[in-house]
Amino acid sequence: MKIVVNREMVLKLAAAKPELVTLNQGALGAAMGIDRSHVSRLLSGKHRPTAATLEALAKALGVEPSAAESILLMVVTDEGEA
């Protein structure tokens, strides 16, 4: 499975909450209670988010958990993995 960032959702979130535009990976990680490198792995698709991670992301961004999940889209690979 590969995880990609839903850029359209991120742009909508940035428009709705302009204070998040300057949020970097270190600040997001601090708000989520995780290391910046973990945020980097999540955003690059190298790490699969757990339910707890999605909840922490939602809380850090001030959105509903379903919106946080929509920011990180799960993409099925050619090998048929889910």
The verdict on residue 80 lying in a domain is no
- Within 13 Å and on the Cβ side, how many CA atoms surround 15? 6
Q: Tell me what the pLDDT averaged over the chain comes to.
A: 78
The verdict on residue 41 lying in a domain is yes
Range of the domain at 41: 2-75
In this model, does residue 13 exceed pLDDT 80? no
Mean pLDDT of 36-45: 85
pTM summary value: 0.69
The verdict on residue 42 lying in a domain is yes
The verdict on residue 27 lying in a domain is yes
pLDDT, residue 81, reads: 47
The verdict on residue 81 lying in a domain is no
Q: Is the dihedral of CA 60, 61, 67, 68 positive or negative?
A: negative
In this model, does residue 57 exceed pLDDT 80? yes
The verdict on residue 57 lying in a domain is yes
In this model, does residue 30 exceed pLDDT 80? yes
Cα dist from 8 to 30, 36, 45, 52, 70, whole Å: 24, 23, 17, 23, 10
Q: pLDDT category, 75, cuts 50, 70, 90?
A: low
Give the CATH number for residue 60: 1.10.260.40
Look at the chain and report how many structural domains it folds into. Answer: 1
